[in-house]
Structure 1
Amino acid sequence: MGKGFYISRPLGFVLCGLGIVAMLTIFSLSVVYTKEKRKNQVTAINETGMVTTAAPHTTPAPSNEPWDKYRLPDTLLPEYYNVTLWPRLVPDEQGMYIFTGTSGVALTCIKETNLIIIHSNKLNYTLTLENHHAKLTGLGGTSAPAILKTWFQTQTQFMVILLNEKLEVGKSYWLYMEFRGELSDDLAGFYRSQYTENGVKKVVATTQMQATAARNAFPCFDEPSMKAVFHLTLQHPPETVALANGMELGTESITIEDKKLLQTRFKPTEKMSTYLLAFVISEFTKIQSSEKTNIRIWGRKEAIESGQGDYALNVTFPILKYFENYYNTTYPLSKSDQVALPDFAAGAMENWGLVTYREQSLFYDPKESSNGDKEWVVTVIAHELAHMWFGNLVTMRWWNDLWLNEGFASYVSYLGADYAEPTWNIKDLMVLQQVQRAFAVDALVSSHPLSSREDEVITPDQISQLFDTITYSKGAAVLRMLSEFLTESVFAKGLHVCLKGLGLTTVADADSRIQLPASIKEIMNRWILQMGYPVVTIDTRTGNISQQHFLIHPEAVVEKPSDYNYEWFVPITWMKSGSNMGQHWLLTKTALYEPMKTGTDWLLANLNVMGYYRVNYDPQNWERLLTQLTTDHKVIPVLNRGQIIDDAFNLARAQIINITLALRTTKYLLKEKEYIPWESAIRNLQYFFLMFDRTEVYGPLQTYLRRNVQPLFDHFQNITSNWTQKPPRYMDQSNQINAISMACRTGVKGCSELTRMWYRQWMKNPDSNPIPPNLKNTVYCNAIAAGGVEEWDFGWQMFKKSTIAAEAEKLLYGLSCTKEPWLLNRYLEFTIDPKQVRKQDAAFAIVYISGNVIGQPLVWDFVRAKWEQITKDYDDGSFFFGRLIQGITKKFSTEFELKQLQRLKEDIAASSFSFGTQAIEQAIEKTKANIKWVSKNKAQVMNWLTEQST
């Protein structure tokens, strides 16, 4: 997931990163932005945590009572906490794992009040001698009012303390509580993970506080702006080690309730948000660096001793140093612990000084893991370390601006990974992994702006739904565009200004190298405060340029108003076939720009896809581009070859161009050997597989693609000496996977035999896997699909035995490929049994099965029958159920399937649950679009494909 010091506007800290352009220009943005967000005021907090600019909350409430509102009142500010926790790593007499704890928090009164409202969820409290759930005393000689009454508001997750007198403004008080909670396996708050080592079950007590689960571990002011210092003490069994955000100060032996324990105290944290708090108690072991910053990689003893943490240790320090240089700000902590957890819902979590990961996000085995696994590890580490500054040192005030955290970390993670692995050319992958991914979701009317008003994000469920593609990928794509037109060096200078806590008025004189057509406020508000993006149409005959809101479903009605009427300030870069290059800003719906006239030359816009927009051309220019691709495709930059394919297919889906034009962009692939164009084509053709794999179109589609992929398959067979060597270039190693995957999928001779041969060799000798790590996903899937129960059962046994998370994930996918319905049904039952499939993997496994043409209807019936059980069993039910709905409904393209989806929406609305509503709305919209697309294009596609085979 990726996520102190505050600045004064919710957009402000990213706008510092907009660079040192012009003092007045930037400052105007910081001032006016508030008005643009409908006077959504914010509170600035300086490095001491004191309020410098107060503003009221705008959160609507079910009543006028403050405890019925979801937002904390602005009357109190926490200064520091003393928290002691004792998790039991063995079950009690009732079979429950529990933890007990004490918590004290120093409060400063900001406004007069006779109420203390503090977050608390799923905790039971010990009554004090006064028969209350808490005890209040004064600090610094202050006398404290008496507590009249305490009670709990379950819906808003508050403990409410009513006092007999008001607290005094400027005075400090100490609130003390004792409590007990369950160390459950729900992957949220303070929870337990477990694994088996040498036949013995091991239990880990760990945390995941983001976004609103710190309140499950101890009573706290659980909002990101309520920063405080945390003094932590952990009590734990003698054979375990305790970790927290701060470095260990010391460990001593103690006895409690006749039990011998260790007690570890930790250095106080920096002033930080509750969602960044973390602690882990385990029997993990570590490796560490000898650098000035103490870097430690923790995990299961077997994994660490087999070297799975070595790669993470090797890249962490270089990435940290890169970000210190990039931000021009020293890493503020003395240590960086990174812990691989057997059970973890997210990919990773940027807890300050104690980053937690899924095992496959931190561990890499050079003998067993693939390039993709290695790439994932280095980019996730870079993402989380980027947060140590942006997100942790500087933090959004409220969750409505989560994109500032996650979009920024997603963007700079590629810069950090590129520094660690400079030969990979990994920054180019942002187009595939972030820009195109964002395009797909942001083309729906159910999308949302990057930044919302605070009062639109209130409940924990609404906060959870913000952790989506728009927040991460669109955020990254827009920041990438911004850094391009400002230049990366100017962008980075602005970040340094923010991280040093300087106001925007301290920005120096304008950088004369940067020429913008409007203030940054005017440019960026259009990308941040309204959803969607434009398609820019260029007529090379006249020089006319126009823009319109791009919607994948052309008849969809946009009901969300925009102050900018869905117009953008678009930075257009272009090149012509004569090698002429240029740039132009499109500031209105339409414009005339003489250099866009080309005569007989072709024109290509959005060079290297740095802009967040699609491009359409007049028919003649499309033809010239297609001719160039077929004659000498290398003249066009590799990223733009992928862009031409992606834009064409999506423009066709939106009925802006003909579907046959899109299909024609793939004809040149006979000659293409580069990864990015092939990957772009495969992703777009995947839609054709989804829509047509149950129809008569599937056969001609396979025939056409088989002819196109055959040269690629042959190419890699040749350069790898008949699959015995690895291609030398990193991008080629990725494209080799595409060559084999598409060849097997379309029936290229020899492909299925190759994958089955490798798999059978492994079955004969389970201790020696002959399958090249990069090709395991493809081989497992195709071999299991071509086999029967013997192949499936062997894969299942290897999955259960695997001690490498990345390997287990590949088998999890491969097992979904079987063509036997009874095996798929058995597998589905396994997915919701935590003894068979870990909870963190359940949604992925179910979605994998739904990708199987035989498994999809089985999954749909299964999820509809068990959705209440599924959402109850998973604490992050909205995120989990939303992921399921998005994955399962991709194939939906009939009226019958639409009605079933609408019925599910009604069933959920009639229940007590509110999970996944946004995902269901998006699925309904996509299904409607699919129905119309198939109706309009099926015959055309069939005819065109048939013509290609004659």
Structure 2
Amino acid sequence: MSTSAAPSAVEERELLPTNVSPVHYELLLAPDLDALTYTGEVQIKVRVNEATSTIVLHANELEIAEAAITSIASAQLATPLQATAIAFEKSDETVHLEFARALAAETEATLHIKFRGVLNDLMVGFYRSKYTDAKSETKYMATTQFEPTDARRAFPCWDEPTQKATFDVTLRVRDSLTALSNMDVARVETPAAGLKDVVFNTTPLMSTYLLAFVVGELEYIEAQTSGEHNGRPVTCRVYTTPGKSEKGRFALNVAVQVLEYFADVFGIAYALPKLDQVAIGDFEAGAMENWGLVTYREVMLLVDEANTSSRARQMVAYVVSHELAHKWFGNLVTMEWWSELWLNEGFATWVGNLAVDHLFPEYHAWTQFLVDEFQRALALDALRSSHPIQVPVRRSSEISQIFDAISYSKGGSAIRMLSSYIGLDNFFKGVRAYLQKHKYANASTQDLWTALSEASGVDVTQFMAIWTRTIGYPIITVAELDGGAQIEIQQNRYLSAGDVTGAEDETLWWVPLRIEVHGSAGARPADVLSARRATVDVAVAGAKWYKLNKGTVGIYRVKYPASAVANIAQAIADGELETNDRIGVIADAAALACSGHSNTSDFLTLLRAYSTETEFIVWQEIATRTDALVAVWADEDAATRDGLRALLRSLFSPLAERLGWEAAGADEESLVGRLRALAIRVAGFAGDQGVCAETRRRFHAFFAGDRSAIASDALGAAFAIAVRTGGRDEFDKAMGYYLDPANPADQQLSALASLGQTTDPALLDELLEFALGDKVRNQDLHKAISSIGNHGPSRERLWRWYQTNYDLLASRYRASMSYMGILIRLSAGEFTGRSKADEVERFLAERDTQKFQRVVDQTLERIRSNTRWLEKDRDDVRAWLTKSGF
């Protein structure tokens, strides 16, 4: 095994000693699904790099019964060399084994360890997942989640991505159970009556975080790939608990196609003989790319063909594609350390969308990317408390905090920007060379840049290193010269707080300008800004407007002079700008209002240019931006709040009226159904009495047995409006729908989220108590509270609940503290007010938040940034609403 890049000395990584490294594991695990425990044995062939009598490896919450060296240099010892001391270092999650004599350097030895563990309920390591069978009896399955550093919870190992080895896995289980691991089954043996040993074939060289096992009562459906690009058909299966397997048909079909598609675009066949996908009831992450055995939260894998919403169906397609992308980016070639996480996740985010766009062009995946990924990345990266795409990681406790919108969404956006600049052909040529050179090994970001530079003939490192190693992104300020024939452009760092200091504004980004001028053909690819400022010619005879960042590909915001904004607004009204550009313009205007680079009234005025907009994804971005405005202004005077609601009705009520509640026909595009649901939600929340009345009528008809009264895409919106405008009856009906396992998983979660819309304090307290009970899975707690903060008067109640239950929550999520970050963001992130930010900060300062401190910092920064926005533009918004008649 080799690594391509040495760790940066600056990072001071806390790694295991290098005196011994693993070569091969033989692992036997025997889980007991009644006692919820397991026993295990592992024989690890190790390479002794330096003479030593001490071996240090990872182990966390395991009981080690025995450790011994059983062979040296392939020679079996007559008497095993027992460890004279077994000492655990809890803070490092390591175990230190001492031996009476040293192992010689440049030899191989076999380390044998017997251990015991608990099938925990923490959703990490080797853990238990609960489900209810057809007889309403509680059952358990055993499953794993090892990324980033929890293989050590399942068995003693070298739990670092560069410590690749091969694995022989044997699972000893009851003979009525199904046992799965990364590889196909080599044989089944019978060690005792009622038991079987399922022995799997040897894995390729791989990192520990990609190992996986699943044991339980399972059923499956199966299909094979065409073999066109993999060289042979690959057997693909979807496993579920009994009675659910047919709901995996859609995901199975996606996997069969995507596995061949990726083998084609990457130029390398899928490396394993089979691909299993498993739906897990209790699963904190959305999915996990274990090689050959991908695990998913049920809602991310299962589709009810008749009732699942189109949004949930698209999400399944994307998540499957994302996870299968990892078979090449992450599994075959693995980042050399977690500071390079974006190599896995940023690339999988980008190429996952590429696959969805290939299979389902009707979803307009790349346009949705702008709202779901690109704008999400820019929102987070506009904070001082963001981090670079390549972020130094010192210890394991820091890793989970970078599984965020920077590693995924900004990473994917950086790939999109780069591939657009050098061209897809050159990009994939470089990717193929990168994968071929580093397969079954580890690589760094620089390795990728080197391959892409050689493929494209462009020094990729020169401009992309700035994007991956530097926090933030620029705002491009435009000034017109010579009557508009030329523009002067200047780049500075953008912060949502709008208060960049000189020390924070030293970076000069490489900025692809992609200028489009009215009357010209497309963007000008040669225009790149890499200095502080430059002058660019935009003179075209008869041109009425110009626009930077065509297609919204570059990672930056643009501030135009007022005259240019007016011209762009007219171009939007006249239908002259493409969808991606219309999204980029309104997103930039909203962001610049928040940061103080422009007035919020400028954003509100620009909205009028979108009055005839027809595209769902554009309206989705508008709704996101107006939702944020309403949330920040939630505690203002009644006249201002009513004015904002009237503005929203003027935008969304005509849409709701035009689209109605019924699909235009069987062939109606799914995005039209989503637009209908969006219009109903926003208009209903804004107080459109007609929409609210019709929603309540359909809601009660739905529960009276007419399930056609509410289309699947509109269910979440309808439930939310009914609960917000109703009382106990509507609350109980939505609760009952959530609790009924016969309903599609995505719709159950929509019903759960709708409960937080109640404005009744008693019902809200009931919901908050319910959320902590056993009817809400630990992974779904955030869904129960996700919409509470949207209602201004409810925010304080939610915050008190979080404070009161902090210790309980911290204990429940102690093994996955990143979830605590989600909860603090939901519980406090909607506040405004300097004193409120100080209160939240004081409360958290007295607690150990180091494992989610980054999210704490981001939440506090958002509160203060929104407070400044409100203070700056309170009068501006009030005056605009009055002048505009709202």
- TM bin (shorter chain): over 0.9
For 1:773, the equivalent position in structure 2 comes to 712
Deviations 1:877-921 (A, max 9, x none): 42111111222223211123112111122211xx5x534211111
Mapped to 2, the partners of 1:327 and 1:192 lie a distance apart of: 36
Greater relative contact order (Cα < 8 A, sep 6+): 1
* Residue 594 of structure 2 is aligned to residue 653 of structure 1: yes
- The 5 A counterparts of 1:597-608 are 601-608=544-551
* Residue 882 of structure 2 is aligned to residue 946 of structure 1: yes
Mapped to 2, the partners of 1:604 and 1:210 lie a distance apart of: 43
Query: Which letter maps to 1:355?
Result: V
For 2:338, the equivalent position in structure 1 comes to 399
Mapped to 2, the partners of 1:654 and 1:71 lie a distance apart of: 41
In the TM superposition, residue 145 of structure 1 has moved relative to its aligned partner by 6.6
Instruction: Answer yes or no: is the 8 Å Cα contact 2:43–2:111 preserved in 1.
Output: yes
For 1:492, the equivalent position in structure 2 comes to 428
Instruction: Answer yes or no: is the 8 Å Cα contact 2:514–2:548 preserved in 1.
Output: yes
* Residue 565 of structure 2 is aligned to residue 622 of structure 1: yes
Deviations 1:26-59 (A, max 9, x none): xxxxxxxxxxxxxxx34xxxxxxxxxxxxx9766
In the TM superposition, residue 104 of structure 1 has moved relative to its aligned partner by 1.1
Which of 188, 197, 207 pairs up with 1:251? 188
Which of 751, 775, 781 pairs up with 2:691? 751
Mapped to 1, the partners of 2:680 and 2:132 lie a distance apart of: 36
- The 5 A counterparts of 1:904-915 are 904-908=843-847, 911=848, 914-915=850-851
Query: Which letter maps to 1:669?
Result: Y
In the TM superposition, residue 413 of structure 1 has moved relative to its aligned partner by 0.3
Cα 1:420–1:880 change in 2 (3 A) is same
In the TM superposition, residue 649 of structure 1 has moved relative to its aligned partner by 1.0
For 1:18, the equivalent position in structure 2 comes to none
Which of 18, 27, 37 pairs up with 1:83? 27
* Residue 212 of structure 2 is aligned to residue 273 of structure 1: no
Q: Report the number of matched residues.
A: 859
In the TM superposition, residue 72 of structure 1 has moved relative to its aligned partner by 0.6
- The 5 A counterparts of 1:430-509 are 430-453=369-392, 457-501=393-437
Which of 152, 168, 179 pairs up with 1:215? 152
Partner SS, residue 656 of structure 1 = coil
- The 5 A counterparts of 1:489-638 are 489-501=425-437, 519-541=459-481, 542-555=486-499, 565-580=506-521, 581-583=523-525, 584-595=527-538, 601-630=544-573, 632=574, 634-638=575-579
Query: Which letter maps to 1:716?
Result: L
Instruction: Answer yes or no: is the 8 Å Cα contact 1:543–1:596 preserved in 2.
Output: no
In the TM superposition, residue 759 of structure 1 has moved relative to its aligned partner by 1.4
Cα 1:586–1:114 change in 2 (3 A) is same
For 2:229, the equivalent position in structure 1 comes to none
- The 5 A counterparts of 1:727-876 are 728-765=668-705, 768=707, 770-803=709-742, 804-833=744-773, 835-876=774-815
Cα 1:929–1:508 change in 2 (3 A) is closer
For 1:371, the equivalent position in structure 2 comes to 310
Partner SS, residue 230 of structure 1 = strand
Cα 1:769–1:525 change in 2 (3 A) is same
For 1:679, the equivalent position in structure 2 comes to 620
Instruction: Answer yes or no: is the 8 Å Cα contact 2:430–2:452 preserved in 1.
Output: no
Mapped to 2, the partners of 1:896 and 1:377 lie a distance apart of: 42
- The 5 A counterparts of 1:29-68 are 41-42=6-7, 60=12
In structure 2, list runs of 5 or more residues that go unmatched.
Answer: 226-232, 439-446
For 1:316, the equivalent position in structure 2 comes to 255
Query: Which letter maps to 1:582?
Result: R
Mapped to 2, the partners of 1:538 and 1:598 lie a distance apart of: 20
Deviations 1:646-694 (A, max 9, x none): 0011112111122211111111222111122211111111111111122
Instruction: Answer yes or no: is the 8 Å Cα contact 1:544–1:596 preserved in 2.
Output: no
For 1:284, the equivalent position in structure 2 comes to 218
Larger mean CA deviation between 481-490 and 194-203 belongs to 194-203
For 2:73, the equivalent position in structure 1 comes to 139
Deviations 1:311-333 (A, max 9, x none): 01111111111101110110111
Instruction: Answer yes or no: is the 8 Å Cα contact 1:438–1:474 preserved in 2.
Output: yes
Q: Give the share of equivalent positions with the same residue, in percent.
A: 29
For 1:22, the equivalent position in structure 2 comes to none
Mapped to 1, the partners of 2:708 and 2:188 lie a distance apart of: 44
Query: Which letter maps to 2:112?
Result: Y
Partner SS, residue 333 of structure 2 = coil
In the TM superposition, residue 262 of structure 1 has moved relative to its aligned partner by 2.0
Query: Which letter maps to 1:489?
Result: D
Query: Which letter maps to 2:477?
Result: T
Deviations 1:681-728 (A, max 9, x none): 1111111111112222210001112112222122212xx7x5575672
In the TM superposition, residue 932 of structure 1 has moved relative to its aligned partner by 1.3
* Residue 173 of structure 2 is aligned to residue 242 of structure 1: no
Partner SS, residue 16 of structure 2 = coil
Instruction: Answer yes or no: is the 8 Å Cα contact 1:87–1:205 preserved in 2.
Output: yes
Instruction: Answer yes or no: is the 8 Å Cα contact 2:427–2:452 preserved in 1.
Output: no
For 2:118, the equivalent position in structure 1 comes to 182
Larger mean CA deviation between 385-394 and 111-120 belongs to 111-120
Partner SS, residue 298 of structure 1 = strand
* Residue 201 of structure 2 is aligned to residue 205 of structure 1: no
Cα 1:598–1:209 change in 2 (3 A) is farther
Mapped to 1, the partners of 2:709 and 2:306 lie a distance apart of: 11
Mapped to 2, the partners of 1:242 and 1:790 lie a distance apart of: 45
* Residue 245 of structure 2 is aligned to residue 343 of structure 1: no
Deviations 1:166-222 (A, max 9, x none): 322221011111111111111000000011112122210000001111000000000
Instruction: Answer yes or no: is the 8 Å Cα contact 2:277–2:296 preserved in 1.
Output: yes
TM-score by length of 1: 0.87
Query: Which letter maps to 1:251?
Result: V
Partner SS, residue 648 of structure 1 = helix
Mapped to 1, the partners of 2:312 and 2:775 lie a distance apart of: 23
Instruction: Answer yes or no: is the 8 Å Cα contact 2:20–2:50 preserved in 1.
Output: yes
Cα 1:357–1:785 change in 2 (3 A) is same
Which of 842, 851, 871 pairs up with 1:935? 871
Partner SS, residue 573 of structure 1 = coil
For 1:325, the equivalent position in structure 2 comes to 264
Mapped to 2, the partners of 1:598 and 1:379 lie a distance apart of: 44
For 1:71, the equivalent position in structure 2 comes to 15
Instruction: Answer yes or no: is the 8 Å Cα contact 2:61–2:117 preserved in 1.
Output: yes
For 1:191, the equivalent position in structure 2 comes to 127
Mapped to 2, the partners of 1:164 and 1:596 lie a distance apart of: 82
Partner SS, residue 243 of structure 2 = helix
Instruction: Answer yes or no: is the 8 Å Cα contact 1:552–1:653 preserved in 2.
Output: yes
For 2:4, the equivalent position in structure 1 comes to 8
Partner SS, residue 402 of structure 2 = coil
Mapped to 2, the partners of 1:694 and 1:590 lie a distance apart of: 41
Deviations 1:486-540 (A, max 9, x none): 11111111111111126899979966xx685xx2111011101101011112223
Mapped to 1, the partners of 2:88 and 2:194 lie a distance apart of: 35
In the TM superposition, residue 773 of structure 1 has moved relative to its aligned partner by 0.5
In the TM superposition, residue 429 of structure 1 has moved relative to its aligned partner by 1.2
Larger mean CA deviation between 598-607 and 326-335 belongs to 598-607
Cα 1:769–1:837 change in 2 (3 A) is farther
Instruction: Answer yes or no: is the 8 Å Cα contact 2:476–2:489 preserved in 1.
Output: yes
Instruction: Answer yes or no: is the 8 Å Cα contact 1:831–1:845 preserved in 2.
Output: yes
Instruction: Answer yes or no: is the 8 Å Cα contact 1:145–1:166 preserved in 2.
Output: no
Mapped to 1, the partners of 2:654 and 2:46 lie a distance apart of: 70
Partner SS, residue 150 of structure 1 = strand
Instruction: Answer yes or no: is the 8 Å Cα contact 1:145–1:163 preserved in 2.
Output: yes
Partner SS, residue 308 of structure 1 = helix
In the TM superposition, residue 852 of structure 1 has moved relative to its aligned partner by 3.4
In the TM superposition, residue 6 of structure 1 has moved relative to its aligned partner by 6.1
In the TM superposition, residue 738 of structure 1 has moved relative to its aligned partner by 1.6
Partner SS, residue 100 of structure 2 = strand
For 2:442, the equivalent position in structure 1 comes to none
In the TM superposition, residue 122 of structure 1 has moved relative to its aligned partner by 0.3
In structure 1, list runs of 5 or more residues that go unmatched.
Answer: 10-40, 43-55, 61-68, 92-96, 128-132
